[in-house]
Chains A and B, each alone.
Chain A
Amino acid sequence: MAHATRGGSMVIIFLTFFAALALTIVPLPEWMVDFRPEWLALVLIYWCMALPSRIGILTAFSLGLCLDVLKGGVMGQHALALIIVTFLTLKVYQQIRAYPMWQQALSIMGLIILYQVLVMWINGIIGIQSSSWNYWLPAISSTLLWPWLYLILRDIRRHFGIR
Chain B
Amino acid sequence: MTSDHRFQYLKEIRAIVSVIVYPVQYIVNFPVSAGKWAGDSFSSRESLMAEVSTLKTQQLLYDVRLQKLAALESENMRLRRLLDSSSKVGERVLIAELLAVDMEPFSSQIVINKGSSHNIYPGQPLLDAHGIMGQIASVEPLTSTATLITDPNHAIPVAVNRNGLRTILIGTGSSEQLDIPYFPNNADIQVGDLLVSSGLGGRFPQGYPVATITDIKIDPGLPFARVSAKPAAKLQLSREVLLVWPNKPETETSGGQN
Chain A, residues 99-125, CB within 8 Å of chain B (1/0): the string is 000000000000000000000001100
Counting CB contacts under 8 A, is A130 at the interface?
A: yes
Main SS at interface, chain B: mixed
Question: What separation, in Å, do the CA atoms of A129 and B172 have in the docked complex?
Answer: 10
A128 touches B153 (CB 8 A): yes
**Complex Cα spacing A24 to B27, Å:** 12
Known: A18-B24, A75-B4, A122-B1. A28 touches B106 (CB 8 A): no
Who on chain B is nearest to A18 by CB? B24
Within the complex, what minimum Cβ distance (angstroms) separates B179 from chain A?
A: 13
A: contact size bracket: 20 to 34
Whether the Cβ atoms of B106 and A123 lie closer than 8 Å is yes
Please report the C-alpha to C-alpha distance between residue A24 and residue B28 in the assembled complex, in whole angstroms: 10
Is B103 a contact partner of A71 (Cβ separation < 8 A)?
A: yes
Interface residues of B in 8-52 (CB under 8 A from A): 10, 13-14, 17-18, 20-21, 23-25, 27-28
A155 to B17 alpha-carbon distance, docked (Å): 31
0/1 string, A50-79, CB within 8 A of B gives 1: 000000000000000110111111111100
Cβ of B101 within 8 Å of any chain A Cβ, yes or no, is yes
Q: Is the CB of A74 within 8 A of B21?
A: no
* A75 and B1 contacting across the interface, CB-CB below 8 Å: yes
Chain B contact-residue range equals: 20 to 34
Residue B105 is within 8 A (CB to CB) of chain A in the complex: yes
Residues of chain A within 8 A of B140, CB atoms compared: 69
| Docked complex: B124-140 residues within 8 A CB-CB of A | 137-138, 140
Alpha-carbon distance between A37 and B223 when the two chains are bound, in angstroms: 44
Contacts of B28 in A (CB 8 A): 22, 25-27
Closest chain B CB from A163 CB (angstroms):
27
- Residues on B with C-beta less than 8 A from A73 are 104
* CB-CB nearest in chain B for A67: B21
Q: A121-163 CB contact bits vs B (8 Å, 1 = yes)? A: 0110011111010010000000000000000000000000000
22 contacts between A and B (CB under 8 A): A22-B24, A24-B102, A25-B24, A27-B102, A28-B102, A33-B102, A65-B13, A65-B17, A69-B17, A70-B24, A70-B101, A70-B103, A72-B103, A72-B111, A72-B137, A74-B5, A75-B4, A75-B13, A76-B1, A126-B5, A129-B106, A130-B105
Q: Which residues of A contact B (CB under 8 A)?
A: 18, 21-22, 24-28, 33-34, 36, 65-66, 68-77, 80, 122-123, 126-130, 132, 135
- Which 8 A-B pairs have CB atoms at the shortest separation, nearest pair first? A75-B4, A25-B101, A130-B106, A76-B1, A69-B17, A72-B103, A72-B109, A21-B24
